[in-house]
Amino acid sequence: MSEILLQIDGIEVKAKEGMSILEAAQSAGIYIPTLCHHEKLQPYGACRICTVEAETGGRTNLVAACVSPVQPNLVVRTRSEKVDKTRKILLEQFLAHAPDAPALQDLAQEYGADKDRFEKESSFCILCGLCVRYCAEVKKKNAVGFVDRGARREISFIPEIASKECWKCKECFPLCPTSYLQAAYHLTEALVFPSPSFEPASEG
């Protein structure tokens, strides 16, 4: 595999052909924020919080670092006015779903995002897909999936599979950037495994 030389934040970085900009940056110890990326999963490109400026052949584009391959002589800027503005707006949209999520709050502080900019959404899910993809790609169980489309798209556990698999796994829980998943799981758990508190009180 041939070696590719590129520049990230003014630093010369050696990468291998086929690497993403994110992987090249991480290999050089350069931080790019991510919300939907996981090293065990196929790149997904959903959250766009990893947006960077990539300059090649005199043209500069905003690209998602996790799904954009390195190229020879590429010049990458991980922070710039445009990058920061893009991340700020994305965070404000995510914060409408999960204003109290610590992972989002930390980033919001960094990029000056206002959690009240957009009207609050009823779902805590930001559709990063980490739980869905981890369960499918790593665990090969498909116990959680996407339901609905467009603005109504959400994740949901599949009770028939979740009742058999999730109680002994729960590996997707810590992946969730908004902690929505725990709530969704517990709801399903409550429905599938009714606890005594869910049983009707006996009469007499």
Binding residues vs ligand FES (CB under 6 A): 34-37, 45-50, 64, 66
Which is nearer to ligand FES, 36 or 184 (by Cβ)?
36
Q: How far is the CB of 68 from ligand FES (least distance, A)?
A: 9
* DSSP letters for 132-199: HHIIIIIS----EEEES-GGG-EEEE-HHHHHHHGGG--TTGGG-SSSHHHHHHHHHHHHHS--GGGS
The pairing of strands 144-147 and 154-157 is: antiparallel
Q: How far is the CB of 49 from ligand FES (least distance, A)?
A: 6
CB of 154 to ligand FES, least distance (A): 18
Q: Which residues of 4-15 are buried (b: 16+ CB within 10 A; e: fewer)?
A: bebebbeeebeb
The residue among 45 and 159 lying less far from ligand FES, judged by its C-beta, is: 45
Q: Which is nearer to ligand FES, 25 or 66 (CB)?
A: 66
Q: What CA–CA distance (Å, rounded) separates 52 from 50?
A: 6
Kindly state the smallest distance separating residue 80's Cβ from ligand FES, in Å: 17
Nearer to ligand FES, 115 or 133 (CB): 133
